[in-house]
A and B are shown apart, each in its own frame.
Chain A
């Protein structure tokens, strides 16, 4: 197991199931962290690695769907694989709508489990990549002065420098200077790239 191996979190109140699933998942080369209840998982300092959560729907403290809601509220975007002893259909529909990757009825066959874990982790990888990019854009935005931020937004809205100057009540020359600094600080090579960054950072609305 490499030290950068993806993490599989397991939350199930049944110790044997926790142990057996851990063994199986570890065999696949993942790092495993397991918990007997939801609060144990929430209190844990989640590792900054591609991860997924194998979650029993029925837990002693709060049920799996409630945990899913809390994770969303707290911004923990780890994909969830629900495991259930009942195969309760209305519940699974609700879980999938809430962003669960899969719903596996107990007993779980290794093939299905490994496949689900693989999908969940690759989903998390993509998510993390997006998040990392947004994070880096935000960091770049943070280096802008308030006036540069204003110029950035208006440029991203595809306004001409002349229009921006009259809007902000300053000279065209000043705007051109600001604009060049924004391009440099944002590490954008051209206007198109700058607009893309603004969109990703949520400064302008996303494309439909």
Chain B
């Protein structure tokens, strides 16, 4: 190649060089721009992805909440209170079942029309009043079903605030507490029947003592009258006639007493093999309300795997109830801890010992010997029969009852019962 040609080509090369330099600068800028846009897209994409995930999470939450509400046993419903007729906008399955209405029947209907007249309306009035004041409310609802069955429901409603400040909805929770209520009523019933048995027992004991006291003088009056009639031996017919009246009236009185006695005859105890711990637990259930009202704490210390005792369940409950109620009275004025401890244990030679220990006022030593006497009482309204009945029940069961002041405060009353041999009570 010649020199000119060389320089031309050199010029061209220069030009091209310049041109490519310019181009590469432009490229760089463009690339940066692309990079920036890509980054931006990335961020946007990230945001979007995030949002989508959140959305998903949120949806899942809603799903779970809905599922949970649907499967729960509590009846749950939501009322829109912005509308004048308080329509139900949500009702879960349990609520549909409780009201015996289909979803279709419930939704958008006035809440207060749902129950019809199957229940007492006082609770509904209470709810209306609460909604008016935008407050929450709770109450018991006794509902009658068409088959006559009674249902106890606990109903609570809570205001829900909408997007703004005001209350827009109410959520209601209705719980079927029929089993709890029935258990409570069963306890009340058992308690009452035991109290009845106790009252009848006391009355019978009282009448029996009274009858004996009256019968004694009746016996001597009759014999005196009959002896004097014999002495007169027909010599004083008028006086003899009077004596005959005394005799027949005496026999009339004796008849009254005899009838009274047979009327209140103690029923034969029903002796069965029993778990004494079970008897103690049942009795504790019966007095639990009483104990909480009197602020007395009742503790059990029951030895496990005790052999059974042979006895009458009701009578043994009666003994425990008597002793516990004595303890309650003794704890009446106790300022320090009010405690009753019920303990059972095995006593060496085949007998079981049950104790009622309290932290009450104790028994003055001078009263101790009088405790076994019928009609002795230190209570203003007492008959003095409780302890003597308890003692005679325990004795009939082949055991004995003892009363002792504790070293510290209070009294321990314990009774023994012979342990049975039956291992399958």
Residues of A within 8 A of B (CB): 14, 16-17, 19-21, 23-24, 26-28, 85-87, 106-110, 113
Contact = CB atoms under 8 A, between A and B. Distances in A.
A110 B251 CA distance: 12
Given A107-B250, A110-B230, A23 B215 contact: no
Contacts of B228: 23
A107 B222 contact: yes
B218 interface: yes
A107 B230 contact: no
A17 B220 contact: yes
B224 interface: yes
B230 A17 contact: no
B223 A110 contact: yes
Taking chain A's interface residues, is the majority helix, strand, or loop, or is none over half, making it mixed?
Answer: helix
Contacts of A17: 216, 219-220, 223
Interface residues of B, number: 20
Contacts of A23: 223-224, 227-228
A24 B215 contact: no
Contact of B218 (A24, A26, A27, A106): A106
Given A16-B220, A17-B223, A23-B224, A106 B215 contact: yes
In order of increasing CB-CB distance, the 4 nearest A-B pairs are: A20-B223, A16-B220, A23-B227, A110-B226
Most buried by A among B212, B224, B227: B227
Interface in B224-241: 224, 226-228, 230-231
B203 to A, nearest CB: 17
Nearest to B262: A87
Nearest to B223: A20
B217 interface: yes
Given A107-B250, A107-B251, A109-B222, A85 B227 contact: no
Contacts of B226: 24, 109-110
Interface of B: 212, 215-224, 226-228, 230-231, 250-251, 254, 258
Most buried by B among A19, A24, A87: A24
A26 to B, nearest CB: 8
A14 B220 contact: yes
A16 B225 CA distance: 12
Contacts of B219: 14, 17, 20, 85, 106-108
A104 B228 CA distance: 21
A109 B419 CA distance: 47
B227 A20 contact: yes
Most buried by A among B216, B226, B250: B226
B218 A107 contact: yes
Given A24-B230, A107-B251, A19 B222 contact: no
A23 B231 CA distance: 9
A14 B218 CA distance: 12
B352 to A, nearest CB: 27
Given A27-B227, A27-B231, A107-B251, A20 B215 contact: no
Nearest to A106: B219
Nearest to A27: B230
Given A14-B216, A86-B212, A107-B218, A21 B223 contact: yes
A14 B226 CA distance: 18
A142 to B, nearest CB: 47
A88 to B, nearest CB: 11
Contacts of B254: 106-107
A20 B231 contact: no
B148 to A, nearest CB: 48
A16 B217 contact: yes
Contacts of A110: 223, 226-227, 230
Contacts of B224: 16, 19-20, 23
Contacts of B223: 17, 20-21, 23-24, 107-108, 110, 113
A12 to B, nearest CB: 9
Nearest to A18: B220
B215 A107 contact: yes
Nearest to B211: A85
A28 B230 CA distance: 9
A27 B217 CA distance: 20
28 contacts: A14-B216, A14-B219, A17-B216, A17-B219, A17-B220, A20-B220, A20-B221, A20-B223, A21-B223, A23-B223, A23-B227, A23-B228, A24-B226, A24-B227, A27-B230, A28-B230, A86-B212, A87-B258, A106-B215, A106-B218, A107-B222, A107-B250, A107-B251, A108-B219, A108-B222, A109-B226, A110-B230, A113-B223
